[in-house]
């Protein structure tokens, strides 16, 4: 429809002109039959301004449509010239590419006579295009053409981007939804990389999130991890001064899965750099405790409470005591079967694939997207926070450029198909295990322990995280996929940097169109004026 627009509008104008001529003929015939000659005179005198007013409105609207079409085509051509210069440094090749893109976007039905010029110097592409648009009605008063001119300018050396996609990989994304999401994300990468193997202008990262985020087992010995158990949350579930690392080592069939728990407030919603001098800021490996063998609502029981290195006299005890025992982990094989939408064991809730830090290698980011799988719960706040950490110039990932870098934009694309979840339970933990631990320790800071109160507090913390990200100058696009919960839809809407950067998607088939639109808008952000 876009390339046919000018012709369709032209035909509409001609039909209007024919109508006006017919009406003029009818009024003239009536006037000539009128015996009062002054009627003819008055009608003739009024005809000129009528034609000028009506003709001017129609001709102006048509020329405006032509100008808008020409501007869009010139923007695309200038961007193409900039990309070509970045790859070949050949001005003549860049001009050839730009002219080809211009003509392709104008289409065969666009009026002839366009003249375009591309000037490439000092790292800037300046493009101009002109056309004289024929009028339809104003020719009657001596105006035969409207001159139309447009300009576009982009910075070749500047206009760099960091883009992180934080994508919901929870169990509700299974089936065609995760497949559609993969296709859409890979299409965005292709567009931003201009189908090249690498890019000098764009780096892209990926955060697949479910109930937790998997940063990757390769970071186990990093200084920003809590290596010796100094964080106040490291040993809160256990009865002895033993680290989670030691407990993982004690279980023969399990090792750390690469997921981390949420840091204590306020570090859960800030980009504070982890430091050994501030133990609360360090990242703690996720270790879900073995819950008691006794009857009751305990859903992550994966070891016998009195096995391992435990002495015979500890076979009894309260559920609180049974859960806190560290002796039971020594040499015992954990039950790691799938259950309740996740996996039993100390890596309970560690279901998503690892993050991919910012990279300009298309193969790496595409492989990470293809590896995504759908399983587990939903924790939107962790998607936001780890998306921010990938964009941040500081630890734990330092691939991001410094905040405030000239002509550089940091972008977070957040997509979820469901609500935050943290369920209460009638046991000594007061809840299911979560990235925030158990409600009994209330790391989340909820005013109450019901499921609705826990979720409401998670939503509040998520909103705070979004606000902190935006305050750092990061642009957020948020996508609500097939979400019927108004609270979650509003949460994602308010998380976006502007109303135009929030998308409601009723079917996963439309994901590709939305991701493509975002990719093209990111490209347009490189247009300086």
Reply yes or no on whether the pLDDT at 243 is more than 60. Answer: yes
Higher pLDDT, 6 or 126: 126
- To the nearest whole percent, how much of the chain has pLDDT over 90? 68
State residue 244's pLDDT score: 98
Classify the C-alpha dihedral 398-399-405-408 as positive or negative: negative
Choice among 48-52, 131-135, 141-145, 392-396 with the minimum mean pLDDT: 48-52
Rounded to an integer, the average pLDDT of 132-147 is 76
Kindly indicate the confidence band of residue 135, based on its pLDDT and cuts at 50, 70 and 90.
confident
d(CA 512, CA 510): 5
State residue 402's pLDDT score: 96
State residue 5's pLDDT score: 36
Paired residues of 121 in beta bridges: 124
Closest by CA to 188, choosing from 527, 528, 521, 500, is 521
Kindly indicate the confidence band of residue 390, based on its pLDDT and cuts at 50, 70 and 90.
very high
Higher pLDDT, 97 or 246: 246
CATH 3.40.50.410 in the chain is located at: 160-215+349-524
279-300 per-position pLDDT tens digit: 999 999 999 999 999 878 999 9
Number of helices (H) and strands (E), helices first, in the chain? 11, 11
Reply yes or no on whether the pLDDT at 109 is more than 90. Answer: no
State residue 80's pLDDT score: 81
Residues 419, 484 contacting (CB under 8 angstroms) = no
State residue 84's pLDDT score: 74
Domain at 160-215+349-524: CATH code: 3.40.50.410
- CA 224, distance to chain mean position in Å, is 27
Higher pLDDT, 15 or 431: 431
Q: Is 72 helix (H, G, I), strand (E, B) or coil?
A: helix
d(CA 466, CA 179): 27
Tokens of 443: 């790391």
Tokens of 417: 């198909």
Reply yes or no on whether the pLDDT at 7 is more than 60. Answer: no
Residues 454, 461 contacting (CB under 8 angstroms) = no
State residue 1's pLDDT score: 23
Strand order in the sheet with 475-481: 356-359, 202-209, 160-168, 408-416, 475-481, 502-505
d(CA 421, CA 434): 9
Closest by CA to 481, choosing from 262, 173, 189, is 173
Reply yes or no on whether the pLDDT at 435 is more than 90. Answer: yes
State residue 375's pLDDT score: 96
- To the nearest whole percent, how much of the chain has pLDDT over 70? 85
Closest by CA to 422, choosing from 389, 479, 466, 462, is 462
State residue 9's pLDDT score: 45
State residue 328's pLDDT score: 97
State residue 400's pLDDT score: 96
Strand order in the sheet with 115-121: 115-121, 124-134, 145-155
Paired residues of 415 in beta bridges: 167, 479
Reply yes or no on whether the pLDDT at 14 is more than 80. Answer: no
State residue 529's pLDDT score: 45
Residues sharing a CB contact under 8 Å with residue 380, sequence separation 6 or more, in sequence order: 168, 209, 414, 416, 419, 420, 458, 462, 491, 492
Choice among 54-68, 90-104, 319-333 with the minimum mean pLDDT: 54-68
pTM, entire model: 0.75
Higher pLDDT, 257 or 408: 257
State residue 503's pLDDT score: 98
Buried b / exposed e over 401-422, threshold 16 CB at 10 Å, is eeeeeeebbbbbbbbbbbbbbb
State residue 171's pLDDT score: 96
Choice among 88-102, 424-438, 512-526 with the minimum mean pLDDT: 88-102
Reply yes or no on whether the pLDDT at 469 is more than 50. Answer: yes
Mean pLDDT score across all residues of the chain = 88
d(CA 500, CA 479): 11
């Amino acid at each position: 429809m876009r390339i046919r627009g000018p012709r369709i509008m032209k035909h509409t104008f001609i039909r209007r002109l024919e109508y006006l001529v017919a009406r003029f003929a009818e009024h003239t015939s009536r006037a000539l039959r009128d015996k009062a000659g002054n009627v003819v005179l008055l009608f003739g005198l009024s005809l000129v301004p009528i034609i000028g007013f009506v003709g001017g409105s129609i001709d102006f609207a048509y020329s405006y449509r032509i100008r808008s079409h020409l501007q869009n085509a010139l923007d695309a051509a200038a961007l193409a010239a900039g990309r070509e210069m970045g790859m070949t440094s050949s001005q003549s090749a860049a001009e050839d590419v730009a002219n080809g893109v211009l003509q392709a976007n104008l289409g065969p039905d666009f009026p002839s006579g366009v003249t375009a010029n591309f000037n490439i110097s000092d790292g800037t592409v300046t493009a101009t295009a002109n056309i004289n648009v024929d009028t339809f009605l104003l020719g009657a008063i001596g105006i035969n053409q409207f001159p139309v001119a447009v300009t576009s300018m982009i910075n070749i050396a500047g206009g760099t981007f960091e883009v992180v996609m934080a994508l919901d990989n929870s169990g509700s994304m299974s089936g065609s939804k995760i497949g559609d999401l993969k296709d859409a994300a890979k299409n965005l990468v292709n567009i931003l990389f201009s189908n090249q193997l690498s890019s000098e202008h764009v780096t892209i990262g990926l955060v697949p999130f479910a109930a937790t985020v998997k940063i990757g087992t390769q970071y186990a010995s990093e200084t920003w991890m809590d290596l010796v158990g100094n964080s106040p949350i490291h040993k809160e579930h256990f009865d002895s001064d033993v680290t989670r690392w030691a407990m993982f080592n004690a279980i023969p069939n399990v090792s750390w899965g690469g997921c981390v728990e949420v840091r204590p407030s306020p570090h859960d919603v800030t980009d504070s750099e982890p430091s050994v001098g501030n133990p609360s800021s360090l990242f703690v490996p996720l270790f879900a405790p073995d819950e008691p063998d006794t009857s009751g609502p305990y859903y992550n029981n994966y070891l016998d409470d009195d096995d391992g290195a435990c002495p015979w006299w500890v076979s009894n005890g309260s559920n609180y005591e049974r859960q806190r025992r560290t002796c039971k982990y020594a040499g015992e094989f954990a039950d790691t079967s799938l259950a309740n939408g996740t996996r039993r064991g100390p890596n309970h809730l560690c279901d998503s694939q690892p993050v991919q830090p910012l990279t300009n290698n298309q193969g790496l980011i595409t492989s990470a997207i293809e590896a995504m799988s759908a399983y587990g719960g939903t924790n939107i706040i962790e998607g936001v926070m780890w998306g921010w950490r990938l964009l941040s110039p500081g630890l734990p990932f330092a691939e991001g450029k410094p905040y405030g870098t000239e002509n550089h934009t940091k972008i977070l694309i957040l997509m979820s198909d469901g609500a935050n979840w943290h369920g209460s339970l009638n046991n000594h933990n007061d809840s299911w295990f979560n990235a925030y631990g158990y409600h009994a320790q209330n790391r989340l800071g909820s005013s109450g322990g019901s499921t609705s109160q826990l979720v409401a507090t998670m939503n509040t913390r998520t909103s705070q995280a979004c606000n902190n990200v935006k305050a750092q100058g990061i642009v957020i696009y948020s996508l609500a996929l097939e979400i019927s919960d108004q609270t979650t839809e509003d949460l994602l809407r308010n998380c976006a940097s502007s109303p135009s950067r929030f998308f409601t998607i009723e079917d996963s088939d439309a994901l590709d169109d939305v991701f493509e639109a975002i990719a093209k808008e990111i490209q347009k952000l490189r247009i300086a004026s």
